Structure 1
Amino acid sequence: MSAFRNSNFDRRTALRAALGLAAAGGLAACGGNTGRSGSGGGAGLTQYFHAYGEAGTEQAIKKYAKAYKESNVTTQWITGSNFESKLFASLLTDKAPDCFEFHPQLQMIESGQVADLSDLINPVKDDFNPADIASHTVDGKIYGIRMIDDPQFFFYRKSLFEKAGVEVPQTLEELVEAAAKLTTDKVKGAYLGNTLHSIINPLIWSAGAQHLDDKNQIAYHTDAVVDGFKQLRKLFTSGDLLLDAPTESWDPASLNQGLTAMQWCGMWAMPVLLDTFGDDLGVFPFPKIGDAGKQSVYNGGWSMFVNAKGKNVDETKEYVKWLWIDQKEYQEDWALSYGFHIPPRTSLAQSAEKLKTGLPAEGVKLFNEFGHFDNIGWTQASITALEDVMANCVRKGGDPDKELTKADAKVNKELKKLFG
C-alpha cells in the first residue's frame, strides 16, 4: 500500500478537509507540531468521548479511568451532534486530547495524527474480529483499538406487520410498499432518521456497490444506487415516512413511543425496545436494491486512538493498553451493560450470554451474514459529499445521477490527496 504514503497530505490539510474549513482564518495561529501544553510530569491524561445515549455510559467510562492508578485520566464527554467538529478543532490546538474515540480514517494516519498501536494489539491480534483489524491497518501497521461493534438494522413491530398483512421487506420496493400499508392516522410506516444520513452507506451496499474499489477509485456511482435514491424520494414524498421526529434515528424513541411501525437504528437500542415490546419486536437488514444487490447491515462501532501529536504518547499508550487490551471485564461491561454492542474481542463475543439467544442472537447473525465496515479511505469530506446527495435528491427532488456526479468531483479531490 505504498500509495497510502503522501507527504503532501499534512496534518492541517487532513483536519481542514475533515472539517470543511477554509485555509485562512482562526487556525492560522495554531502551531504545527504542538502537543498538550503543561500535560507532562504526571499532570494526567485527557480522553474524548461522544455522548452515548444509553444511561450509565458516562459514569462507566469515568469509573474505568478512575481505576487506572498510573495516571489521572480526565474524560471530556462531548454532548450534541457536532462531536467530530469539536474533536478535529481541538486536535489543532495545545488543548488536544491524549486519546479519543473515532472511526478509522486514512487522512488521520497520513497526517501523522494517530499513533501506531501495533505493539499493543499484535500479541492479542488473533482474538479480534479480523474485519476490525483489517479496517484499522495500513502498510501492516494497526492504528486504533476497536472498542465496540455496532450493527445497524431495521427494528419493527411484528403485530403491526401482521395486522397490515405485511411481510418483512426483502427489497427496497417492498419496503416502500410496506410503509404505505403500515401507515395509519396515528402511526407512520417507517422512520429512517430526520437527516436520512444513517442509511447512506447501507443504500450503497444493498445496491451491490462499494464506496471505493480495490484501486481506491469511486465505486458508489452505479445505476442501482441512482435507483435507490429515486425510491427513497418516492418514500420521502409518500406521506408514509416519519419526518421531523423528536430525536434522530440513533435514539429508539420514535418506535418506542408508537410513532412508527419500523425504524432504522442500532443494536445498542435493543434492551430498551425489548423492555417495551418483548416478543413483538423483530429486526431485518436494509433491503436489497436491484438484481445485483444484497441485504446489508452497517457496522458502525467506535475505536480508541492515541494522539501522536501529544506530549504523553507513551503514557497514553500504556493507559489505552490497560483499558482496551488488558481489562476484559471492563470491555465486556462497556459492550453489554448499557445497551447491546458486539465485543470486537472474539473470546468476549463468544462468551457473551446476553447475545446467545432471542433477538440479540438474531442481531449477531445478521451482523455476521450481512455486515459491512467503514472504508478507511473514506474521509469526512467524502461523507459530507454523499450527505449532500441525500439532501439534494431525496429531500429536495434533484436528479440523483447529477447529484452523484457533483459528489464525484469532491470525492475525487479527496482521493487525489490521499492516493495521488
Structure 2
Amino acid sequence: MSNQNNNGGVSRRTILRTAGAAGAALAATGLSTPAVFGQSRKQIRFLNAETSIDSIRALKVAAAEYERQTGVEVVIDSVPLGDVFTKVTTSLRSGKPYDIATVAFVGHVLLLANEGHLVDMTPLTSKQEWGKNILFPMDGKTYWYPYDYNLAWIYYRKDLYEQNGLEVPKDQATFLANAQALTKDNMSGSIFPIASNGATNWLSPGFLWAEGVEIFDDQWNIIIDSEENAPKTKAYLDFFGDLYKTMPSGTSQASYSEMLTSFTSGSVAHSAYAGRLVETIERNSPDLADKFGIFPYMDSSGTGKAVNHGYDGWVVLNTGAAEESMKFMEWFTENQLINFLHTAPLHFQPARLDIYDDKRWKAHPLIEKHAGLVESMKGFLTDPDLTITSIDTQGPEPDLRPGKVFESFALSEMLQQKCLLGTSSDAALEMGAQKMRDAIA
C-alpha cells in the first residue's frame, strides 16, 4: 500500500470500495472470454499509481529508452492509487484498455483474473526468488508482478531507550512498560491509530498477528471469537486499552500523516509505519536520523512476532498488446526496476530477494546509510518465525471476503469501543465479530 503524497497517501478503503462496483462493471463488459484490441499497434499503455515526481520520471525515462531500443512506444498515464481500478475497468468497457496497470489489493487481481482480463505472469516471476506471502498464486499461476512490500513495523527512539535504561521489548508487557516510562516531559509514549480508516487497519493489528490470531478458517468462517482465538483477541484489546493511555490527544482521529509527523516532530517515543518514515525523518528531521531503531510487533509471551502486510505490483492485461507488454515487463524488471525502486529507496522495500544483494540497489546513499535497517527489513522476509499478514490477506487463499472485512472497519470499532467507551473486551469482541460476519454475508 504505497502512500502517494506528503500527507500520508491514500487509504486502502478508497481502493477496496471500488471492488464491488468495479466487479459489476467488469461483468457488464460481457468479456467472459478475453477480447483482443488493437492487433497491429506498436504502443503500450501503462497505468501508473506511484505519483511522486521521481517515480513518474523513472518510468518515463524507462519508456523512452525502450522506445529507442525497440521502436515500441510506452505511454505512461499516472493517477492516484484510489482511482486506478476504476480507471482500468473503465478502459475495458470503452474498448481501449490499458495494457499494464498498478494494483495494490489482491482482491482486484482476483477480480480481473477471474474475468479473463489478466495474462499469466508466472514466466517472469518464476525467474526469481521472492519473499514470503507476496505472489498470491491462483490455481498455481501468478497474475501480477509485485515490486515492493509496504510492511508496517514499530519505530522507537533509541536514544531515549539508552537514557532511560530500557531494553528492546520482546513481549507486550515490556513494550507497554516502556511506553509508560517514556510518557513524560511533553512526550507521549506511543501512537497507534484507532479511527475507522486504512491507517488503523494497517498499523494497529500487528499485535494480533504476533499472537497467532486468525480471522477466517479454511471454510471462510469467522473465527476471531472462537475458543482458540477469543482469549488472545480479548487480551489484545486489554493491552491496547492500556497502551492508549500513553498516546497523545487526538489519536482517536489519527491517520497516516499523524503517524509520520508525530514521530518526526519528536513528540512520541513509538510509532508504526513502513520505510517511508525514514525518508520523512531524513527530509524533515535529520537530527533524528541516528536516534531511532525498529522492531516487529510482539506477542504477550515473548515468542511470537509479526509485521503487518502491505504490497504493490503490476498486472499485464490480456489485450492485443499482451505479448509486447510481457516483453516490456521482462526488459523493465531486468534493466530498470532498481532505478524505479530508488525513487522511494526505503519505502519501496523489494519483494525480490536477489535485489538485496544487488550492488546497484545497495549503492543508493540512503540504503548505504541505513544498512542496519535494511538488513532488518530483509530479515522480516526470511525469518521463518515471523508472521507477515494483514486483514486483506487473511484466509486460506486470495478472496474478496478479507477485503470486505477490511472495509467494514470492524477491528477499528473494537478498538474504539475499548479505548474510547470503556466497553469490556468481551462485548467489544462480540460486536466486532458480528460486524465481520455481516460484512461477508
- TM-score in terms of structure 2 length: 0.73
**Quick one: distance in 1 between partners of 2:16 and 2:120?**
22
**Structure 1 SS opposite 2:93:** coil
8 Å Cα contact 2:145-2:313 kept in structure 1: yes
Unaligned runs of 5+ in 2: 1-14
Q: CA deviation at 1:158?
A: 1.2
- AA at the equivalent of 1:350: D
**Structure 1 SS opposite 2:256:** coil
Q: CA deviation at 1:184?
A: 3.7
Aligned to 1:12: none
8 Å Cα contact 2:190-2:246 kept in structure 1: no
Aligned to 1:377: 397
Distance 1:262 1:84, change over 3 A: farther
Q: Deviations over 1:148-204 (max 9, x none)?
A: 233321112112334455433333344344333323463332223463121355243
Aligned to 1:109: 113
Q: Deviations over 1:291-331 (max 9, x none)?
A: 496110234221211123x443223222222212x32xx22
Distance 1:268 1:368, change over 3 A: farther
Distance 1:242 1:163, change over 3 A: farther
Q: Does 1:361 align with 2:389?
A: no
What is the percent sequence identity of the aligned residues?
15
Aligned to 2:356: 349
Q: Does 1:202 align with 2:206?
A: yes
Q: Does 1:321 align with 2:330?
A: yes
**Structure 1 SS opposite 2:106:** coil
Q: Does 1:253 align with 2:267?
A: no
8 Å Cα contact 2:149-2:309 kept in structure 1: yes
**Quick one: distance in 2 between partners of 1:137 and 1:98?**
21
8 Å Cα contact 2:401-2:440 kept in structure 1: no
Aligned to 1:235: 243
Paired residues, number: 386
Q: Does 1:409 align with 2:425?
A: no
**Structure 2 SS opposite 1:334:** helix
Q: CA deviation at 1:245?
A: 7.5
8 Å Cα contact 2:259-2:271 kept in structure 1: no
User: For 1:39-58, what aligned pairs fall within 5 Å after superposition?
Assistant: 41-42=40-41, 44-51=43-50, 56-58=54-56
**Quick one: distance in 1 between partners of 2:77 and 2:316?**
15
How large is the RMSD of aligned CA atoms in angstroms?
3.8
**Quick one: distance in 2 between partners of 1:226 and 1:91?**
46
**Quick one: distance in 2 between partners of 1:293 and 1:240?**
29
Q: CA deviation at 1:343?
A: 2.7
Aligned partner (choices 281, 286, 292) of residue 281 of structure 1? 292
- AA at the equivalent of 2:31: N
Distance 1:16 1:176, change over 3 A: closer
Q: Does 1:263 align with 2:274?
A: no
- AA at the equivalent of 1:148: D
Aligned to 1:400: 428
**Quick one: distance in 2 between partners of 1:84 and 1:396?**
34
**Quick one: distance in 2 between partners of 1:254 and 1:384?**
30
Distance 1:37 1:141, change over 3 A: closer
Q: CA deviation at 1:396?
A: 4.1
Distance 1:43 1:37, change over 3 A: farther
Aligned to 1:333: 339
Q: Does 1:97 align with 2:98?
A: yes
Q: Which sits farther off after the overlay, 292-301 or 140-149?
A: 292-301
- AA at the equivalent of 2:293: G
**Quick one: distance in 1 between partners of 2:258 and 2:29?**
37
User: For 1:201-220, what aligned pairs fall within 5 Å after superposition?
Assistant: 201-214=205-218, 217-220=221-224
**Structure 1 SS opposite 2:169:** coil
- AA at the equivalent of 1:403: M
**Structure 2 SS opposite 1:209:** coil
Q: CA deviation at 1:38?
A: 7.5
8 Å Cα contact 1:179-1:241 kept in structure 2: no
- AA at the equivalent of 1:269: L
- AA at the equivalent of 1:334: F
Q: Does 1:61 align with 2:59?
A: yes
**Quick one: distance in 1 between partners of 2:182 and 2:253?**
17
**Quick one: distance in 1 between partners of 2:16 and 2:247?**
39
